[in-house]
Chains A and B, each alone.
Chain A
Amino acid sequence: MTQLIAIAGLSVAFSGVPVLRGVDLALQKGEALGLVGESGSGKSVTWLAALGLLPRHAQVAGSVRLDGREILGAPSAELDHVRGGRIAMIFQDPASALNPVLTIRKQLCEALALHRDLSGEAVKAEARRLLDLVGIPDAARRLSAYPHEFSGGQVQRVMIAMALAGNPDLLIADEPTTALDATIQAQILELLSLVRREMGMAMVLISHDLGVVAENCDRVAVMYAGRIVEAAPSNQLFADPVHPYAQGLIGALPPLDGPRRRLTAIPGTVPDPAHMPSGCAYAPRCALAGESCGLAAPTLAPIADDRSVACVRAEASRRAVLGMAAE
């Protein structure tokens, strides 16, 4: 597999308050990566910053390379080609991402005209094909409908069609199903995996729902307070989480079958970005925290093939386990 996008040392601050504190993330072509974490952990900001979508007063530093080319701080002409063309994004609230006074056809054709060399009838035919692809029944007629004539799940389908208009290599789906009911969520997730397979597209699925990410992604990165604390293949992360925060998140999820147990809640709350604890940001809530945790922020270090963790304690315990196995 070849690398599609590589983010290195990405940091973002809003009026001097750091919200993203050095994120390293790479994505292969065609890969599905899940990004989980609680609100304010920087999941969305990572991608908004990477695509140059943050307001001007945000201070962004680091590097974002798409196919080896730096896109962070690239001229807007180049970014216009990347956004929507190479990388498309869908959001939690699809209704507010569409223009309520324009028909779906107008909005789809606009996206197609921007990113594809199509004109006239070809644009309309392609708009219809996209609407068909995302499973809107009676696509030809529905093209002339306005956003309010669609249900919540259907509007998200329309948004996905618009995102696919530029034939992107990467789709960033930011909480795409959070506002939807369970049975509709299942439909949208299935649609996403279908179009991903058909178009060989890579995807970043941003979600606070561990289950959604586990089922739909090859690899998962867990974020906490503006940093990635653990990255691993999804089956390994859920079977054997290493970072105490990842362990906490999984323990806090009530089981749907088997015996009921008391939930292992993580004590305390997420730290205020303006008053970050020194050292590991999770240390104040961590049951395993030792003296060394307060000294320096741990870096994301590999612990096995394709697995890395940013935790002083986990590294030590892991090294002991691996060392014994090697001997």
Chain B
Amino acid sequence: MRPPLVEVSAISRSYAMRSGMFGRAMAVHAVDGVSLTIAKGETLGLVGESGSGKSTTGRIVLGLEPPDSGDVRFEGRPMAAPGTAAWRAQRARMQMIFQDPLGALDRRLPVAVQIREPLDIHGLGTPAEREDRVRELLRAVELTPAHGARYPGALSGGQRQRVVLARALATKPDFLVCDEPVSALDVSIQAQVVNLLCDLQAQLSLTLLFISHDLRVVRQISNVVAVMYLGRIVEIGSADDLFARPEHPYTQALVSASPAPGRRSAGRIVLSGDPPNPAARPNGCAFHPRCPRAVPRCASEVPALLAVGGNRQVACHLVTGAETRDAA
């Protein structure tokens, strides 16, 4: 087992929300007691539907947002207080990539200038060295110096996401949080960027937190995958067998809902009910109103995330280590 780079223990975050103009303020639990460990050089995939808290988890892990409780440790040390010099130094080693590359880039600056910006901000190298580094970064993401002279508007979606990736890599980070980095791209371009991310990770021994709703892309790129539902992790396990043998009823529905060429919809688990609303979290297991296998206990008691054998952990009253092994 490789040593952990990022350790997240029991982080929670809630927001105040008001329903209507005169409604009472209530707490929306975006993230509720999430613990994760990401080993050095590995990729942890985080999947879930909208409102499951995956992006908030990513932001807390990066220190863009403080958790209400719980803590995040980077290389065994707690995160420095935001705004301090120590925090800035740490932040240079952690970067983030978002879904919409056009929104992440300044339309009025050539992209090479934008890739150089983090080097200027963190004062890395002499001006000449920075120019070299920009050329090197463009090459690393398979763009030419000619692309660097262009404005974001003159690049395609896939090329823009490469620019964002080059900029994120400028400070030689150890840790990269990717929030839906390929969701806005067409399939053929998506494959280019996924391959590039895999290559760069291997070359630079990057550690990734890869957030996406797309099970296929997550499986392709991750070592370990965690499934979130309404702010909690419901199942976590190795990427290779989590989707092949999902244990949690929600993961099973999610895998079943993922369409596959060559398979007709017969036997698909279609969940009834609406997508979960974080402002009205059901008691007990948050999934129980939509769960096809729910029993009375599910409505009253919150299931804990427990190991069920192998390196799988599941938060479900109906899945226990013994039962699963018997079934298998």
A256 pairs with B186, CB closer than 8 A: no
When distances are taken between beta carbons in the complex, the residues of chain A under 8 Å from B265 are 189-190, 193, 215-216
Residue from A153, A215, A248, A267 having most chain B Cβ neighbours under 10 A? A215
B275 pairs with A235, CB closer than 8 A: no
User: B158: nearest residue on chain A (CB-CB)?
Assistant: A269
Chain A 1-44 against B: per-residue CB contact (8 Å), 1 yes, 0 no?
00000000000000000000000000000000000001100000
Q: Which of B10-18, B28-36, B119-127, B252-260 contacts its partner?
A: B252-260
A252 pairs with B258, CB closer than 8 A: no
Residue from A184, A215, A235, A254 having most chain B Cβ neighbours under 10 A? A254
- Chain A nearest CB from B224 CB (Å) reads 14
Give the interface size class of chain A: 35 or more
A208 pairs with B186, CB closer than 8 A: yes
* Contact residues of B between 212 and 237, Cβ < 8 Å to A: 213, 215-217, 219-220
Q: Is the interface of A mostly helix, strand, loop or mixed?
A: helix
When distances are taken between beta carbons in the complex, the residues of chain B under 8 Å from A256 are 215-216, 219, 243, 255, 258, 260
B220 pairs with A260, CB closer than 8 A: yes
* Contact residues of B between 164 and 214, Cβ < 8 Å to A: 186-192, 194-195, 198, 213
A249 pairs with B188, CB closer than 8 A: yes
B220 pairs with A254, CB closer than 8 A: yes
Q: When the two chains form the complex, which single residue of A184, A193, A260 contacts B219, counting CB atoms closer than 8 Å? A: A260
Does A82 have its Cβ within 8 Å of any Cβ on chain B? no
Does A321 have its Cβ within 8 Å of any Cβ on chain B? no
Does B268 have its Cβ within 8 Å of any Cβ on chain A? yes
A263 pairs with B191, CB closer than 8 A: yes
When distances are taken between beta carbons in the complex, the residues of chain A under 8 Å from B269 are 186
Chain A 167-205 against B: per-residue CB contact (8 Å), 1 yes, 0 no?
000000000000001111111011001000000000000
When distances are taken between beta carbons in the complex, the residues of chain A under 8 Å from B244 are 257
A151 pairs with B274, CB closer than 8 A: yes
User: B198: nearest residue on chain A (CB-CB)?
Assistant: A262
- Chain A nearest CB from B66 CB (Å) reads 28
When distances are taken between beta carbons in the complex, the residues of chain A under 8 Å from B255 are 256
Q: How far is A249 from B255 in the complex, measured between Cα atoms in Å?
A: 21
User: B48: nearest residue on chain A (CB-CB)?
Assistant: A181
Does A210 have its Cβ within 8 Å of any Cβ on chain B? yes
Q: How far is A212 from B272 in the complex, measured between Cα atoms in Å?
A: 19
When distances are taken between beta carbons in the complex, the residues of chain B under 8 Å from A215 are 259-261, 263-265
Q: When the two chains form the complex, which single residue of B190, B260, B275 contacts A184, counting CB atoms closer than 8 Å? A: B275
Q: How far is A248 from B215 in the complex, measured between Cα atoms in Å?
A: 20
Q: How far is A115 from B260 in the complex, measured between Cα atoms in Å?
A: 37
Does B99 have its Cβ within 8 Å of any Cβ on chain A? no
When distances are taken between beta carbons in the complex, the residues of chain A under 8 Å from B189 are 38, 265, 269
When distances are taken between beta carbons in the complex, the residues of chain A under 8 Å from B194 are 254, 263, 265
Does A308 have its Cβ within 8 Å of any Cβ on chain B? no
Give the interface size class of chain B: 35 or more
B213 pairs with A181, CB closer than 8 A: yes
Chain A 212-241 against B: per-residue CB contact (8 Å), 1 yes, 0 no?
101110000000000000000011001100
Does A46 have its Cβ within 8 Å of any Cβ on chain B? no
Residue from B219, B220, B290 having most chain A Cβ neighbours under 10 A? B220
Q: Do A182 and B49 contact each other (CB < 8 Å), given the known contacts A254-B219, A257-B244, A260-B219? A: yes
Q: When the two chains form the complex, which single residue of B187, B192, B257, B272 contacts A253, counting CB atoms closer than 8 Å? A: B187
Does A255 have its Cβ within 8 Å of any Cβ on chain B? yes
- Chain B nearest CB from A40 CB (Å) reads 9
When distances are taken between beta carbons in the complex, the residues of chain B under 8 Å from A234 are 261
When distances are taken between beta carbons in the complex, the residues of chain B under 8 Å from A269 are 156, 158-159, 189
Residue from B215, B240, B268, B274 having most chain A Cβ neighbours under 10 A? B274
Q: How far is A234 from B259 in the complex, measured between Cα atoms in Å?
A: 13
Q: How far is A212 from B257 in the complex, measured between Cα atoms in Å?
A: 10
Q: How far is A208 from B275 in the complex, measured between Cα atoms in Å?
A: 23
Does A152 have its Cβ within 8 Å of any Cβ on chain B? yes
When distances are taken between beta carbons in the complex, the residues of chain A under 8 Å from B272 are 187
Q: When the two chains form the complex, which single residue of A185, A214, A248, A267 contacts B262, counting CB atoms closer than 8 Å? A: A214
When distances are taken between beta carbons in the complex, the residues of chain A under 8 Å from B258 are 182, 211, 256
Q: Do A153 and B275 contact each other (CB < 8 Å), given the known contacts A183-B254, A215-B260, A263-B195? A: yes
Q: How far is A210 from B190 in the complex, measured between Cα atoms in Å?
A: 14
A255 pairs with B216, CB closer than 8 A: yes
Q: How far is A189 from B260 in the complex, measured between Cα atoms in Å?
A: 13
Does A126 have its Cβ within 8 Å of any Cβ on chain B? no
Q: Do A182 and B254 contact each other (CB < 8 Å), given the known contacts A253-B216, A253-B261? A: yes
Q: How far is A59 from B263 in the complex, measured between Cα atoms in Å?
A: 40
Does A209 have its Cβ within 8 Å of any Cβ on chain B? yes
- Chain A nearest CB from B272 CB (Å) reads 8
A38 pairs with B262, CB closer than 8 A: no
Does B295 have its Cβ within 8 Å of any Cβ on chain A? no
Q: Do A252 and B190 contact each other (CB < 8 Å), given the known contacts A153-B274, A183-B254? A: yes
Known: A181-B49, A182-B215, A211-B259. 15 other contacts (CB 8 A): A38-B188, A182-B257, A183-B49, A183-B257, A183-B270, A187-B272, A215-B264, A216-B259, A238-B261, A248-B188, A252-B187, A254-B194, A254-B219, A262-B195, A263-B220
Q: Could you write out 18 A-B pairs with CB less than 8 Å apart?
A: A38-B186, A151-B275, A182-B215, A184-B49, A190-B265, A210-B187, A211-B258, A214-B260, A235-B262, A238-B261, A238-B262, A248-B188, A254-B220, A256-B260, A257-B244, A262-B195, A262-B198, A269-B189
B interface residues (Cβ-Cβ under 8 A, vs A): 49-50, 156, 158-159, 186-192, 194-195, 198, 213, 215-217, 219-220, 240, 243-244, 253-265, 268-272, 274-275, 290
Task: Give 5 nearest A-B pairs by CB, closest first.
Answer: A211-B259, A252-B191, A254-B220, A265-B191, A238-B261
